[in-house]
């Protein structure tokens, strides 16, 4: 007999957040334990005139980085890309430039020294624009720290792969998404996605004090040079499916990557370091955050947990092998005025612990 979960405390927290308008104007939440769905829920608004459903697809920013990383590691195993080969040996325009010394491994490990500058979405309509912008970057000196590069790292990898004759978006689709039967993830979003599923695209919002406005740049990256660092669109359920496949090692069983590469991806890529962008000591694997307790998810997450947040923390996704737990939440509201609203990132530990309490999965020291 299948186990059923009421998830009453989690549902109550979501409803209270919606009513207060301090949390978000809408939300999607997906939770599974041992591959069994415990919660697939949506509430609030997807657009000004449309109620959010579990089938809506939102711009989830960096939350799709692990998918792009998995596809990149697949190419490395196939011999297409050497993770430790300096980019300047592949892209002539970068010879002698700071970006030339960067490698795919250092970029995915957040240890390339790439600056945190975020370009205007849609400005890289051509590959040549991305090549020029990356070539003009100066790297940050980070002797014992890490550097979160929300855009530049995967944009550089994309340029390198294009020069090598590979389109990462095609590898993501045919090697990762299609085999795992994930249809509601667009990395990147295209005009074809818009024509086939425009009615399911949810809107991201900006909150200033008690006013919600549509996020102005959503959609500008359509059909431009793909941005795999923050250009993903997905439903919470689709991201949950990806993490379930990661948790059970289905990605290994299906031959997407070998077990050794899988373990390398989820292992710390270096010692813990202070990340000046995230403003905390933390650790990354290759394209993923590892030990989510050190990424603002609370002590209820084990050291073996892995995942990624998105935007300013309004998107979150992780898997915890200790309990066979997957949690994905999309809160598509960027809070601008932090004096008028507590950031979603600061509420994250309580949210995760509420889910765990509903599932009776809190560690003994945290059980009431």
pLDDT digits (tens, 9 = 90+) for 197-225: 888 988 877 666 566 666 644 444 566 78
Q: Tell me the CA distances in angstroms from 261 to 170, 208, 244, 273, 289, one per residue in order.
A: 21, 43, 18, 23, 16
Is the pLDDT at 100 greater than 80? The verdict is: yes
51 in any annotated domain: no
State the CB neighbour count (10 A cutoff) for residue 86.
Answer: 17
Is the pLDDT at 162 greater than 90? The verdict is: yes
Residue 45: what are its φ and ψ, rounded to 5°? -110, 140
Between 19-28, 117-126, 275-284, 350-359, the lowest mean confidence (pLDDT) is in 117-126
Total structural domains within the chain: 1
pLDDT digits (tens, 9 = 90+) for 260-318: 999 999 999 988 887 776 777 889 999 999 999 988 888 889 999 999 988 766 789 99
Angle, in degrees to the nearest 10, between helices 152-163 and 127-135: 120
What pLDDT is stored for residue 367 in this prediction? 41
Count the helices and strands in the chain (H runs, E runs).
11, 15
What pLDDT is stored for residue 151 in this prediction? 75
- CB contact at 8 A, 208 and 255: no
Q: Rounded CA gap, 181 and 187, in Å?
A: 14
More confident: 104 or 126: 104
When pLDDT is cut at 50, 70 and 90, the band that residue 193 belongs to is confident
How much is the CA Rg of the chain, to the nearest whole Å? 20
Q: What is the pTM of this model?
A: 0.92
What pLDDT is stored for residue 123 in this prediction? 60
182 in any annotated domain: yes
Is the pLDDT at 127 greater than 80? The verdict is: yes
What pLDDT is stored for residue 124 in this prediction? 67
2 in any annotated domain: no
What pLDDT is stored for residue 353 in this prediction? 92
53 in any annotated domain: no
1 in any annotated domain: no
**Percent of the chain whose predicted confidence (pLDDT) is above 90:** 54
Residues 181-214 as b/e (b if ≥16 CB within 10 A, e otherwise) read ebebbbbbbeeebeeebeebbbbbbebeeeebee
Upstream peptide bond of 137 is cis (omega within 30 degrees of 0): no
What pLDDT is stored for residue 352 in this prediction? 92
Q: Please name the helix (run of DSSP H) or strand (run of DSSP E) that holds residue 252, with its range, or none.
A: helix 250-253
Q: What is the DSSP string of 52-88?
A: --TT-BEEEEGGGHHHHHHHHHHHHHTTS--TTS-GG
Top-ranked range on mean pLDDT: pick from 133-142, 150-159, 282-291, 342-351: 282-291
What pLDDT is stored for residue 368 in this prediction? 41
User: What are 309's strand-pairing partners?
Assistant: 316
What pLDDT is stored for residue 341 in this prediction? 40
Task: Name the pairing type of β-strands 185-186 and 325-330.
Answer: unpaired
Between 8-22, 24-38, 214-228, 246-260, the lowest mean confidence (pLDDT) is in 214-228
**Percent of the chain whose predicted confidence (pLDDT) is above 70:** 83
What pLDDT is stored for residue 340 in this prediction? 36
What pLDDT is stored for residue 332 in this prediction? 77
Q: Mean pLDDT, the chain, as a whole number?
A: 86
Residue 196 sits in a domain whose CATH number is 3.40.710.10
In what side-by-side order are the strands of the sheet with 232-234? 58-61, 232-234, 185-186
366 in any annotated domain: no
Q: Rounded CA gap, 137 and 292, in Å?
A: 30
264 in any annotated domain: yes
37 in any annotated domain: yes
Is the pLDDT at 120 greater than 90? The verdict is: no
pLDDT digits (tens, 9 = 90+) for 39-71: 999 998 888 889 999 999 998 988 999 999 999
What pLDDT is stored for residue 196 in this prediction? 82
Q: Tell me the residue range of the domain where 313 lies.
A: 8-45+59-361
């Amino acid at each position: 007999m299948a186990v059923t979960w009421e998830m009453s405390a989690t549902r109550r927290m979501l409803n209270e957040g919606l009513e207060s308008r301090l949390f978000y104007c809408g939300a999607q939440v997906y939770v599974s334990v041992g591959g069994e769905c415990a919660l697939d829920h949506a509430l609030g608004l997807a657009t000004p005139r449309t109620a959010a459903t579990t089938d809506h697809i939102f711009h989830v920013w960096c939350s799709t980085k692990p998918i792009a990383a998995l596809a990149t590691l697949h190419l490395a195993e196939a011999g297409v890309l050497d993770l430790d080969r300096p980019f300047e040996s592949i892209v002539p325009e970068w010879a002698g430039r700071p970006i030339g010394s960067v490698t795919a491994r250092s970029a995915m490990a957040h240890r390339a020294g790439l600056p945190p500058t975020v370009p205007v979405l849609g400005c890289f309509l051509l590959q040549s624009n991305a090549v020029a912008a990356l070539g003009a970057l100066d790297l940050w000196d980070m002797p014992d720290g890490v550097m979160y590069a929300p855009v530049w790292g995967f944009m550089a990898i994309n340029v390198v792969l294009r020069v090598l004759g590979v389109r990462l978006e095609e590898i993501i689709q045919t090697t990762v998404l299609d085999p795992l039967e994930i249809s509601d993830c667009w990395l990147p979003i295209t005009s074809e996605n818009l024509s086939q599923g425009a009615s399911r695209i949810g809107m991201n919002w900006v909150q200033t004090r008690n006013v919600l406005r549509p996020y102005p740049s959503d959609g500008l990256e359509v059909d431009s040079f793909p941005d795999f660092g923050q250009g993903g669109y997905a439903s919470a359920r689709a991201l949950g499916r990806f993490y379930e496949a990661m948790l059970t090692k289905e990605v290994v069983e299906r031959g997407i990557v070998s077990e050794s590469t899988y373990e390398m991806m989820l292992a710390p890529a270096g010692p813990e370091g202070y990340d000046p962008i995230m403003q905390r000591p933390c650790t990354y694997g290759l394209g993923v955050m590892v030990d989510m307790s050190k990424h603002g998810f609370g002590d209820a997450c084990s050291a073996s947990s892995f995942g990624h947040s998105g935007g300013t923390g309004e998107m979150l996704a992780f898997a915890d092998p200790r309990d066979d737990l997957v949690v994905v939440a999309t809160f598509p509201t960027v809070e601008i005025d932090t004096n008028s609203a507590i950031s979603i990132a600061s509420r994250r530990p309580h949210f995760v612990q509420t889910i765990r309490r509903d599932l009776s999965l809190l560690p003994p020291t945290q059980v009431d």
